[in-house]
Amino acid sequence: MKLQSVRLTPIAFKDPPLLNAAGIHEPYALRTIIELESDTGHIGLGETYGDAPVLQLLQVLAPLLRGMDPFDLNGLRRRAQQVVDQAAPAAAPAFALAPGTDPAKNVQKLYSAFEVAFLDMQARYLGMPLVDLLGGRVREAVPFSAYLFFKYARHIDAPYADDAWGEALTPAQLVAQAETMVSRHGFQSIKLKAGVLAPDQEVACLRALADRFPGLPLRIDPNGNWSLETAIRVGKQLGGVLQYYEDPCPSLKEMAALHQATGLPLATNMVVTDLAQFRANTTVQGSQIILSDHHYWGGLRDTQLLARLCETFGLGLSMHSNSHLGISLMAMAHVAASVPLLSYACDTHYPWLDPAEEVIAGGQLAFHDGAIVLGDAPGLGVDIDPSALARLHQQYLDCGIRARNDAAQMRKYQPSWSGQAPRF
């Protein structure tokens, strides 16, 4: 089997005004959709970042893949490395909250984007679900958590109608958001994206959630926006209700000091995002739970490797998320179903997706009791809806956004906004 065509389509989909430590989501989120086709008529799909710096590298790598055997993952890795080595030095990202914008991860990002599509094609060729190609399923259903955000009712500059979620800035509004999300999808744990309001207000929100959902595991993620002192104070207040405490402080050193001071299990998708940081963490123990993300950890097989390492070093494992569509969700679900160590329900932004903005045939995927249930369809188990892809590509061309920048977007509301962390 040989790769005959490699198509990249940048798309933009509507994204609600979700608040975070760096600022606020823009009216559109960007992704790149990858479609491979082989000389045997098999396809392979992938979904990754759509920001211009990543897209440019993907566009350089894509033609180098034509004629390749899709089983040659080492060949893919070599080519991804060459493309990054030969590229002009990457500029520092304007927006650094999400590890996906970090140019130091470019090889992993490029490799992962196509690795998923290569694996999808391999599995379709062999007529098996991707999870079975990855070694077989250790679970049929992959649990996800409700991912709550503080949010405004409307974007300052969206050319489309307000979303139905409304504003969420108070404990009552946040509880209402959680009720909708939990009753709609059956999630059995809740994560609050924090680092937005004053910490005491966020503590009040978490307490309101604990009162409304007794027994449901709760997490809070201020994305490194709290000083060590604040994180210790809040940790002592919330210790009893937290399943884990996610990235309260910005550095590994502070996370280690926080763990020492509170004994709380700390999770991260910010201070352990590659193997060098993983090694550093084993000596200082700044994080006890790694939130993996195949998009920047180097793909599905490297996620499996990370899971083995977490097992070896006695760490927990779960998954991080950014705004995404169904191809990414299925890639997450297939690899999560293949690793024995999946200690907690994974994060996903998927419930924030407007159903009309999905690119896969058949529309938005459904959660069953908060989980994605893997079927027996070959590969990732999803296909592209060509008309949705064309519409979302047109939206990309029209929207003018070329790289995510939540801080710049926030300056439209608050001109003096810096997005500097830690703010509290």
Say whether 320 is catalytic. yes
Using the rule CB under 6 A, which residue among 259, 320, 324, 423 binds ligand GKR? 320
Could you say which of Mg ion, ligand GKR, none residue 97 binds, taking C-beta under 5 to 8 angstroms by partner kind? Answer: ligand GKR
- Of the residues 185, 320, 334, 349, which is catalytic? 320
For ligand GKR, the closer of residues 116 and 148 by Cβ is 148
Q: What are the E-state strand segments in 99-172?
A: 141-143, 146-149
Residue 109 known to be catalytic: no
**Residue 187 and residue 141 in contact, taking contact as beta carbons nearer than 8 Å:** no
Give the pair of three-digit tokens for residue 323.
Answer: 């705004």
Catalytic site residue from 105, 109, 193, 294: 193
Interface pick for ligand GKR out of 243, 292, 304, 321 (rule CB under 6 A): 321
Identify whether the C-beta of residue 389 lies closer than 8 Å to the C-beta of residue 9. Answer: yes
Residue 320 beta carbon to ligand GKR: minimum distance, rounded to whole angstroms = 5
Strand intervals (E) in 264-422: 266-268, 289-292, 316-319, 371-373
- Least distance from Mg ion to the Cβ atom of residue 333, Å: 19
- Which of 262, 269, 338, 348 is the binder for ligand GKR (CB under 6 A)? 269
Residues 216-235 within binding reach of ligand GKR (CB under 6 A): 221, 223
CA triple 353-355-357, angle to 5 deg: 75
Q: Contacts with ligand GKR: how many residues (CB under 6 A)?
A: 13
Residue 220 CB, nearest distance to Mg ion (Å)?
A: 10
Contact status, residue 195 vs residue 424, Cβ threshold 8 Å: yes
Q: How far apart are CA 28 and CA 49, in angstroms?
A: 13
Tell me which residue has its CB nearest to ligand GKR: 20
Nearer to Mg ion, 125 or 296 (CB): 296
Cβ atoms of 409 and 53 closer than 8 Å? no
Q: Which stretch binds ligand GKR (CB under 6 A): 121-129, 159-167, 317-325, 369-377?
A: 317-325
294 binds ligand GKR (CB under 6 A): no
CA separation for the pair 324, 353 (Å, rounded):
8
Query: What is d(CA 119, CA 176) in angstroms, rounded to the nearest whole number?
Result: 40
DSSP assigned state of 40: T
The site for ligand GKR (CB under 6 A) is made up of 18, 20, 97-98, 193, 221, 223, 269, 320-323, 347
- The catalytic site residues sit at 193, 320
